[in-house]
Chains A and B, each alone.
Chain A
C-alpha cells in the first residue's frame, strides 16, 4: 500500500462521521419526497418504501403555489444581484485603483455593514419599509438584499480587480485610449469572470435569505421559497412532509450544484481579499 493510499484511507475514516451527518438529511429529503403519502408515518420508521411516487412533485407544485414562490424568489434574487453588481463595480474599481483620502474609512465602513446582522436591524427595517410603504412589496427585499450584500460584492470584486495589473490600463492610456475606452476595452473584458462569480454568490445569498423575507412579506402570494416552505411546516396541525421535502429538493438541489461547482472561486476570493 502506498503512503498516499494509506493516508487517504485514514483521512476518509476521520471525515466519514461528518460526511454521514451532512449527507443524512439529504437522504431523508429524497426518500421522503418520493414516498407515497400513507407511508410517511409508519411504525417503526423505516428508510424503505413501496414505490417511487414522482407525482408528489406535481401535486406539491399545484397545492403549495410553488411556482408563484419560485417566481418571487427569482425576481428578488435576480434583481438584487444585478443592482448590487452595478453599484459595486465603480466602488470596487475606486478602491482597487485610486489613492484617495477616506479610502480606509470607507473600507472599514463596508466591513461594519457586512458584520451587521439583519436580525438586529429587522425591527428598524420593518418600520422603515412601513414609512416607505414598501411592506409586502418584493422590492423591499430587493433594496435590503442589495444593501446587505454590497460589502461582500465590493470586496470580492475589489480583490479580483487587484489581480488585473494596473499597467494594462496605463499601457492603453499611452496607446491613446481615454479612461472610458480603457475601461470598456481593456478592464471590463478582463473582469467578466470575477463579476460572474460574484454575481452567482450574491444570487445564492439572496435566494437563501429568510429573516427579512419572513418579516417584510406578509401576504402568501408574495412569499419567497424559504418562507413558503417554512409556512408549510410552521404552526400547522397536519404537515404534508412529502410535499415539503419535494419542494426542498427543488429549492436546494440546483443551488447546491452551482455552489459546489464554484466554491473554489469563493475560497480563492476570500484568500485574496476578505481574510488575507
Chain B
C-alpha cells in the first residue's frame, strides 16, 4: 500500500485570512495607484480618462519634485549615517555591565515609546523662538545671548529636523545591534584577549566584522523607515517655510491632500513604491541569506 503525499491544506487555511487582508489593504492600493497614475484626475478625484505617462512627465518637469528629492537624499544620508554612528557605541555600552545600565536602557529606548507626532509636538514647542525652553537653557548657560528662531528659516529648521530624526531612530537601531551583540560568541573575545588583543583591536577585528550583517540590516531598515518620518517634518514645519523642508513624503502628502493633484501624487507614490521595493528586496535577500545559514544547521541536526 502506498500512501500518497497529501497536500497539506491545514496550514494554508491558517494563513489564508491574514493573507487576504494584507492583499486587500496593502496590495489593492498599489494597483489603484498604478491605475490612477495613468489617468487624468480632476481636483475632486474624478477620472477624466487615460493619459499614459503624462503624470510622470509632469513630475519630472516639476522643480519642487527635484528639490524634495535632493532633500530626501540629504535627509536619508544624514539620518541613517548619524543614527549608525551613534547607535553602535551606545549598543556596545548598553551590552556591557555597568552601574545603572537598566536606567540607561530605558532612557535610550524612550523615544521609541512615544509617537513621532508627540515627539515632534514637544520639539516644536521646546524650540519655540519666543518662549521655547531650549533657548532659555542655552541662554542660562550663556551659550547664546539672543533667542534663536530655530524653525523660521529652512536650512536651520531642516538641520534640527534631521537631528530629531536621528534621535528617534537610535532606539530601534540600538535594539538591532543589541540583538547582534548578544549573539556574538563570547569565546572569540576570550581567545583574542588571550592572544593579546587590546580593546580597540577587539572592536576592530572581532566586533566589527561579526556585526557586519547587523549593520547592513540596520542600514536598509533605516532607509526604509525614512519613508515613515513624515510626522516629524509635518508637525514641526509642515514642509515650510516655502517648501524649504519638504522631502518626498511631505511633498506627496501636500499634492494629494492639499492641492488635490491626485494624478501627480499617484505618480510620485508609485515612484517611491519602487524605491521602497528595491530596498525591501535587498532586505529580504539579506534576511534569507542569514536564515539559509541557520536552517542549513537545523536540517543537519534534524535527520
- Using a CB–CB cutoff of 8 Å, the interface residues on chain A facing chain B are 4-5, 7-8, 11-12, 14-15, 18-19, 21-29, 31-32, 40-47, 87-88, 90-91, 93-95, 97-100, 102-104, 106, 108-113, 115-128, 130, 143-144, 146-148, 150-151, 154, 204, 207-211, 215, 226, 229-230, 233-234, 241, 244-245, 248, 251-252, 255-256, 258-260, 263-264, 266-267, 270-271, 275-276
B25 & A148 in contact (Cβ 8 Å cutoff) = yes
Q: Which of B18, B33, B106, B121 contacts A154 (CB 8 A)?
A: B18
Given contacts A110-B22, A117-B228, A119-B252, contact A24 B10 (CB under 8 A): no
* Residue contact A40 to B131, C-beta cutoff 8 Å: yes
* Neighbouring B residues of A130 by C-beta, 8 Å: 45
Task: Tell me, in angstroms, the Cα distance from A270 to B294 when the chains sit together.
Answer: 16
CA distance A23 to B235 in the complex (A): 20
State the Cβ distance, A215 to closest chain B Cβ, in Å.
6
Q: Do A256 and B110 touch across chains, with their CB atoms under 8 A apart? A: yes
Q: Is the CB of A12 within 8 A of B100?
A: yes
Assembly CA distance A105 to B48 (angstroms): 38
Known: A112-B280, A124-B269, A276-B294. A226 touches B15 (CB 8 A): no
Known: A119-B227, A276-B291. 16 other contacts (CB 8 A): A8-B99, A8-B100, A12-B104, A19-B107, A28-B125, A44-B136, A120-B227, A122-B256, A122-B269, A148-B26, A151-B22, A210-B116, A215-B257, A226-B115, A226-B117, A248-B118
Q: Which of B52-60, B63-71, B178-186 contacts A (4 or more CB under 8 A)?
A: B178-186
Q: Which of B154-199 contact A (CB under 8 A)?
A: 167, 170, 175-176, 178-180, 182-183
Contacts of B176 in A (CB 8 A): 270, 275
Provided the pairs A7-B96, A117-B224, A119-B253 are in contact, do residues A210 and B32 lie with their beta carbons within 8 angstroms? no
CB distance from B246 to the nearest CB of A (A): 13
Which of A98, A111, A125, A215 lies in contact with B283, CB distance below 8 A?
A111
The CA-CA distance from A266 to B116 in the complex, in Å, is: 19
CA distance A91 to B149 in the complex (A): 52
Which of the candidate stretches B73-81, B85-93, B202-210 sits at the interface with the other chain?
B85-93
Nearest B residue to A227, CB-CB: B117
Contact A14 B93 (CB under 8 A): yes
Which single member of A4, A29, A127 contacts B99 (CB below 8 Å)? A4
Considering the chains assembled together, what is the distance between the CA atoms of A23 and B119 in angstroms?
11
> How far, in Å, is A21 (CB) from chain B's closest CB?
6
**A-side contacts of B22, CB under 8 Å:** 109-110, 113, 147, 150-151
10 A–B contacts, CB within 8 A, in A order: A18-B170, A28-B132, A45-B147, A87-B18, A90-B13, A117-B249, A124-B29, A127-B45, A241-B128, A263-B109
- Is the beta-carbon distance between A11 and B45 smaller than 8 angstroms? no
Q: Does A271 contact B283, Cβ atoms closer than 8 Å?
A: no
From known contacts A230-B117, A252-B114, infer whether A123 and B269 are also in contact, taking CB-CB under 8 Å: yes
Q: Which residues of A are found within 8 Å of B99, using beta-carbon distances?
A: 4-5, 8
CB of A144 within 8 A of CB of B25, answer: yes
Complex Cα spacing A125 to B121, Å:
26
Residues of A within 8 A of B38 (CB): none
Contacts of B230 in A (CB 8 A): 119, 210-211
Chain A hits for B284, CB < 8 A:
108, 111-112
Q: State whether B125 touches A275 (Cβ < 8 A).
A: no
Instruction: Check if B90 sits within 8 Å of A111, measured CB to CB.
Output: no
Cα of A114 to Cα of B96 in the assembled complex, Å: 31
Q: Are B231 and A87 in contact (CB under 8 A)?
A: no
Task: Give bound CA distance, A234 to B121, whole Å.
Answer: 10
Pairwise interchain contact B114-A256, C-beta atoms closer than 8 A: yes
CB–CB A210/B276 < 8 A: no
Contact A233 B130, beta carbon cutoff 8 Å: no
B273 touching A22 by the CB < 8 A rule?
A: no
Contact call A255/B21, Cβ cutoff below 8 A: no
Interface residues as binary, B124-161 with A (CB distance below 8 Å gives 1, 0 otherwise): 11101011111111011000000100000000000000
Q: Residue B136 contacts which of A46, A143, A147 (CB distance < 8 angstroms)?
A: A46
Given A244-B125, A275-B214, A120-B269 contact (CB < 8 Å): yes
Closest chain A CB from B114 CB (angstroms): 5
Identify the interface centre among B18, B124, B280, B291: most chain A CB within 10 Å of its CB: B18
Check B116 against A94 for contact (C-beta < 8 Å).
no
Chain B residues with CB under 8 A of A104: 288
The answer to whether B276 touches A120, judged by C-beta atoms less than 8 angstroms apart, is: yes
Residues of A within 8 A of B104 (CB): 11-12, 15, 19
The answer to whether A115 and B131 touch (CB under 8 A), given A22-B110, A87-B17, is no
Q: Is the CB of A22 within 8 A of B107?
A: yes
Q: Report yes or no: B107 in contact with A23, Cβ–Cβ below 8 A.
A: yes
A115 touches B276 (CB 8 A): yes
A177 CA to B97 CA, complexed, in Å: 46
Contact with A along B223-237 (1 / 0, CB 8 A): 011011011000100
| Contact assessment for A208 and B279 in the assembled complex, using a CB-CB cutoff below 8 Å | no
Say yes or no: A22 contacts B98, CB within 8 Å.
no
